[in-house]
Amino acid sequence: HDWSCQRWKLLRAFVNAAIGALNWCYGCRPSSPQSSRRTAAQRDVLQRLVSRCVDFHNRLQAPTAGSWENLTPDWVPLPERPEGPKYGGLCAAKVDVLPEAGTCDPMPCLPLAVQQLITNCEQTLFSDAPKGLDMFEDVADSERLEYIKLVVRQLRAKQLGLTAKPRGGGTVIAVGKPGGKRQRVVWHGRRVSAAARRPPKPQHL
C-alpha cells in the first residue's frame, strides 16, 4: 500500500513537471494569474496529458523485448537492435477518423497578427516558394484502394476538402501505432515545408 501511494506521488510529480515544462515553453510563469475555472478545452488537454503520462508509466512497468531497444542511440551496445515503427501497408479501417471535424472556427481565438499571417499565407509564408509544388509523388499502387477508402471517410467527416487546382502537396505514409493494431497517416509534405519561410523559435528555446 505504501509503495502504491509513493508510485502515484511520483506519477503526479511527473505530470506536473510535464505541465510546467509546456507552460514554460509557451512563456507562462508560476506567478502568472490563473483562471478560477478551467475551460472545456483546458480540461480536455489536461485529460489527454494525464492519459499519455499514465500510458508511459504503464509501459515502463512491463518492458518487453523489441519495445524499447529501437529508441536507444546508435552508440548504445545492444546484441540486437530491432526495427522501429512499421511503415507502409495502409489499411483504412485501422486509421482513427473523427466522427465530425471542423465543428468550430479557430480563427477568432488567434491574435490578429496570426490571423493575417494565415489569411495571406501565399504572400507571407510562401513568398519565395519555387514552382512545381503542385507536382508530387502519388500513393503506391498497392495502397491506392485503401487510400481511396480513407479519403472517403475523411470527406464524410469534413476533415478534408477537394480541389481541382492544388497549389502544393505530397503523398501519405501509414505508420503503425504501438501494439500493431492501429495506424496513423502521416502527410509527407517535405517539399512544401522546405518552401515555407523558416518559423520563429518558440519562446525560451
Please give the distance of CA 175 from its chain centroid, rounded to a whole number.
Answer: 12
Residue 150 is predicted with a pLDDT of 95
Residue 64 is predicted with a pLDDT of 61
Look up residue 12 and give its three cell numbers. Answer: 503526479
Residue 9 is predicted with a pLDDT of 81
Residue 104 is predicted with a pLDDT of 85
**Using an 8 Å Cβ cutoff, are 90 and 143 in contact?**
yes
Whether the model pTM is above 0.85: no
Residue 75 is predicted with a pLDDT of 65
Q: Report the amino acid identity of residue 18.
A: A
Residue 94 is predicted with a pLDDT of 93
Residue 81 is predicted with a pLDDT of 57
Answer left, alpha or beta for residue 130, where phi above 0 means left and psi between -120 and 50 means alpha. beta
Q: Mean pLDDT for each 10-residue chunk of the chain (205 residues)?
A: 68 85 78 78 85 79 60 64 66 91 87 86 82 84 93 93 86 81 86 81 65
**Using an 8 Å Cβ cutoff, are 143 and 176 in contact?**
no
**Using an 8 Å Cβ cutoff, are 177 and 184 in contact?**
yes
Look up residue 34 and give its three cell numbers. Answer: 490563473
Residue 154 is predicted with a pLDDT of 94
